[in-house]
Amino acid sequence: MLDRDEIDALFPSDLPDVDHWERHFPKRDLADGVQVMRFCPSPTGAMHLGGIYVAMLDQAIARQSGGVYIIRIEDTDQEREVEGAAGDFDRILGWFGLTADEFDGQGDYGPYTQSQRADIYMSFARDLMRRGKAYPCFATKDELTAMAAEQRAMKVQPGYYGRWAPWRDAADDLVRARLEAGEPYVVRLRSPGEGERRVTFTDIIRGEITANDNQNDVVLLKSSASALRLPTYHFAHLIDDHLMRATIVLRGEEWISSVPVHLQLLEANGFERIPYAHVAPLMKQQGSARRKLSKRKDPEASAEFYIEAGYPRQAILSFLRGLANSRLSYLTVAESLTEPVHLEEAGMAGPLVDLAKLDHVASEWIALMDSEDVLNEVLIWAGRYDPELAAAVEPDRGLAVRALDIERKGVENPRKDLGKWSDFRTYYGYFFNPLFDLVSDQADERLGGIAPEAVRKLCAAYLDRYVQAPDGDAWFEHLRAVSETCGFAPTVRAYKDAPDQFVGSVREASQIIRVALTGTKRSPGLHLVTDVLGEPEVRRRIGALLG
């Protein structure tokens, strides 16, 4: 084993001892039950909905306990880092209302970006080397590849251990010679794991878990050839969680297999265990089977998808809370956002991301909003994602509010057509002339195949006898009377009984007027639509079918 001076020479001369960092980041003064949670995205790609799910849980557990919610950027894998990803994280998390209590620029336990904490990791790596719990390894990529191939051929556990760990107990003179030659090295843990020894730990979500102990001498610090000596995830997260005084480590279930390594590192550094909670991944239904929600395959896996679509953030957070604790899915959005979330109820099966369910949750939320508030949200969204819609609606906000009030304002069961802000164009865009194409072709298939002559005759008669009916029944009765004079049957039944005697029924007549006014076959009550449009616009639109 190298002596202390030789070990210290491998690190900056002004590197503080670990005691310095313990004093610099003192234990927090926390009452019983108060939780310090941390969300730790890695800027190697776009934010996954699963990241929003975990961040939501972190924030909820911290806030409902009166604790602290931290965001820490884990950027030690700089080869895979995507430029601008960290900035996108700030924007996306802010949009979802998942801003932290502590983050870079705010908080006493930072920096909160791992690449800015290199000295901290080196201090702890040096301490482990001084105590013989870590060592330099000069194995090259080619040598490691050859060892892995040999292990596969022998069908043994892969890893750096036993006779496949040549630098673990290498002679000091050989180590000194490699160091003097300036050969690059990594720092590895001297694992105390032995054979089939088992370790046990308790997971807040999954209960007691027993697994094989780790016997792999994992890498702690990456290659000395790098200008910035950065750690691996195994080493960095553990030190940061300790020094930031986290009380629960919440992360994806893919890290369960790494817990034996992390327990060894905790013991080697003399840290207390922090409770783990490993959440199941979000799932997608595909046919009769479920699979993990995939960034590569599923647009809805991206957090950006929901922002671009215009889902209300409150609805998404309510939906995600319901995935974590099913009891919350039976509450209203407002109720679910104030009820506590319990990790113990999260379950071990991956929750299903069902967009139809999300649309339902969102439409229930929007239906209870005031029309002015809905319009404001639509225009904020459209300003970025649909400028044409924003340009058409903004100058006539009064028309937009009147349209939104249809079958919503003052009714017991309000209309639930909007599940996201992007739906506004579909369901309300026809009220705005810049977004509406006049229907002028009497043979348009949307008119139900009625003869062009009959279409023209109906439209002329409707305009000639135009009245603004006070309610839906009066409007329909008026149309029935008008359409009968144009050869339409007064009822669907009458038309079916004698189709040769009529050009269609009052149902087809209603569809012609509906399509002329809205361009669609489905809309709210036409007496309400005509009232919002006003008689001049009604005449202009129906008149377009007169040729």
Taken in order 243, 244, 245, 251, the sign of the CA dihedral is negative
Flag whether 264 is in a domain. yes
Confidence (pLDDT) at 29: 96
Flag whether 295 is in a domain. no
User: 237: domain CATH number?
Assistant: 3.40.50.620
- 6 Cβ neighbours under 8 A, 6+ residues apart: 176, 179
Same domain, 164 and 212: yes
Strands (E), 287-346: 289-292
Flag whether 247 is in a domain. yes
Q: How many domains does the chain have?
A: 3
Same domain, 486 and 399: no
User: 510: domain CATH number?
Assistant: 1.10.10
Same domain, 123 and 209: yes
Same domain, 174 and 238: yes
| 348/284 Cα distance (integer angstroms) | 16
Same domain, 542 and 462: yes
| 158/149 Cα distance (integer angstroms) | 9
**Of 386, 414, 434, which marks where a domain is finished?**
434
Backbone angles phi, psi at 442, to 5 degrees: -65, -15
Confidence (pLDDT) at 195: 66
Element of type H or E holding 263: helix 259-269
- How confident is the chain (547 residues) per 10-residue block, as mean pLDDT? 95 97 98 97 95 98 98 93 92 96 96 97 98 98 97 96 96 97 97 86 97 96 89 97 98 97 97 97 95 94 98 98 97 97 96 97 97 98 98 97 94 94 98 97 95 97 96 96 98 97 97 98 95 97 95
Amino acid at residue number 380 = I
Flag whether 43 is in a domain. no
Long-range contacts of 404-408 (CB under 8 A, 24+ apart): 404/371, 404/374, 404/375, 404/428, 405/371, 406/524, 406/525, 406/528, 406/529, 406/532, 407/524, 407/525, 407/528, 408/367, 408/371
**Of 223, 252, 279, which marks where a domain is finished?**
279
DSSP code of 368?
Answer: T
- From 364, 369, 317, 312, select the one nearest 338 (Cα to Cα): 317
Same domain, 379 and 451: no
Same domain, 273 and 373: no
Flag whether 66 is in a domain. no
Same domain, 396 and 443: no
Structure tokens at 67: 């604790």
Same domain, 531 and 458: yes
Going by their DSSP bridges, the two strands 219-221 and 186-189 should be labelled as antiparallel
Same domain, 11 and 145: yes
Range of the domain at 417: 369-434
Same domain, 381 and 487: no
**Of 263, 279, 295, which marks where a domain is finished?**
279
Flag whether 413 is in a domain. yes
Cα–Cα distances in angstroms (integers) from residue 137 to residues 129, 147, 224, 319, in the given order: 12, 14, 10, 48
State pTM to two decimals: 0.92
Residues in the chain: 547
Longest dimension (CA), the chain: 109
Confidence (pLDDT) at 13: 96
Going by their DSSP bridges, the two strands 36-39 and 68-71 should be labelled as parallel
Q: How many CB atoms lie within 10 A of CB 494?
A: 16
Flag whether 499 is in a domain. yes
Torsion of CA 193, 199, 204, 208, to 10 degrees: 160
Same domain, 420 and 449: no
Flag whether 255 is in a domain. yes
- 125 Cβ neighbours under 8 A, 6+ residues apart: 11, 134, 187, 220, 221, 231, 235
